[in-house]
Amino acid sequence: MRYIFLLAFFLILSSELYGYSTAFAVQPKPAPTTPLKAMEIEGNVSVSSKSVKDQLKDLAEQVKLDKDVIVYIISYSRNAYPKEAKRRANLIKNYLVKKLQVESDRIITVDGGSRETRKIDVYLVPAEADEPKENSTVNTNEIQNYQAIRKKQKWRVKQPPHPTNQWT
């Protein structure tokens, strides 16, 4: 019995000194290194719809339970509306912060660029993990072409003079 105790003591001591792994040593759980996609809103689904709000409520519960998680909201706009992505991402962030009481410093919004259709990806990212990457599908030259066409269309519309501006 005394020899077993000495053997166990020697194994524990040697594992601490030389970094050996023993059956007695508790191994730490490895941290996840990839972000987890928590939800996806595709197409013309309204951010204020009941299904989206239910998903956001579940997401807020997960975030409140795990204090090391950061929420990334990557929003993609349609070709002709480049500012739409940031606006929709901020709508989701404001809902999480104001209605569901998630800390605002744990939510990061990202303008993902342009795609053929609107899309929002929401990721839960552990503290040690890499941040998720956006993947826009539309070339920036195409976006500039769409914007130029829209500007030309706005200049073509001629309004008649307002009747109150004329001298009587």
- DSSP code string of 33-61: -S-EEEEEEETT--TTSHHHHHHHHHHHH
Provide the pLDDT confidence category of residue 4 given band limits of 50, 70 and 90.
low
Which domains are assigned to the chain? 35-128 (3.30.1330.60)
Backbone angles phi, psi at 160, to 5 degrees: -70, 155
Give per-residue pLDDT as tens, 67-121: 889 999 999 888 767 788 899 999 999 999 999 999 999 999 998 888 888 899 9
What pLDDT, on a 0 to 100 scale, did the predictor assign at position 98?
Answer: 95
Q: Indicate whether 17 pLDDT > 50.
A: no
Q: Which of 16-25, 80-89, 121-130 has the highest mean pLDDT?
A: 121-130
Q: For 26, left (φ over 0), alpha (ψ -120 to 50), or beta?
A: beta
What pLDDT, on a 0 to 100 scale, did the predictor assign at position 73?
Answer: 94
